[in-house]
Amino acid sequence: MTQQQLLQFLLPIVIVLPLLYFRMRKMAKPQPLKLNRLWIRPVLFLTATVLVLLAPQPPNQPVHVLMPLDWAWLALAGALGAAAGWQWGRTMAIEVHPENGTLMVRGSQAAILVLGALILLRMGLRMGLTAEARAGHVSMLLVSDLSIVFAAMLFTLRSVEMYLRARRVMALKPAP
């Protein structure tokens, strides 16, 4: 492994681990859940995803046309992101605050482990796919599109699952 490859491997770990640690500490504390704002992030992610997939290519780049097999890969990435997002949403503890009756959400250690596993998977894929792209077997634009679709579906389905569960929690809340 060259020094540059070692830096490309270690630098994200040195940056990501402290971020995950601080995120885990914050997620362990109950945070207010704004039920009427859960739709904002998914709409932004889905809009950005559509714009990226349909955006025209820069003039000096070869035209990137998605073939039927590419669409199948995008559908698979979306399905995997949706499944991971649903599971991530299920790991979030949603409860009603006993004093003021507002919704509170608290992340679990499992959510951080899922996030860490996704980051490690992305790093591994990046290293492997970069080598394949140099050999001409993999389109890096497609890989980029796949990761965008995965992330969009991950955060969308996490919010959908949390919204549905939060509504059930609010419906079970005893009347004051």
- pLDDT tens-digit profile of 36-93? 888 898 999 999 999 888 877 666 666 667 788 888 989 999 999 999 899 988 988 8
Residue with tokens 């009427």: 36
* Tokens found for residue 117: 């596993």
| 109 or 78, higher pLDDT | 78
Indicate if the pLDDT at residue 21 is higher than 70. yes
Q: What is the mean pLDDT of residues 140-145?
A: 78
Grouping H, G, I as helix, E, B as strand and the rest as coil, residue 126 is helix
| 123 or 38, higher pLDDT | 38
Residue with tokens 């796919």: 129
Residues 6+ apart with CB under 8 A from 105: 30, 31, 32, 33, 92, 93, 94, 162, 166
| 104 or 101, higher pLDDT | 104
* Tokens found for residue 57: 């290519």
pLDDT on residue 134: 65
Among residues 80, 51, 61, 64, the alpha carbon closest in space to that of 141 is found at 64
**Residue 140's Cα: distance from chain center in Å?**
19
Residues paired with residue 105 on neighbouring β-strands, in sequence order: 31, 94
* Tokens found for residue 75: 């559908």
| Structural domain boundaries in the chain | 3-54+68-172
| 113 or 162, higher pLDDT | 162
Q: Note the pTM of the prediction, 2 decimals.
A: 0.77
In the chain, the percentage of residues whose pLDDT exceeds 90 is 20
pLDDT on residue 96: 87
Q: What is the mean pLDDT of residues 164-176?
A: 81
* Tokens found for residue 37: 């704002």
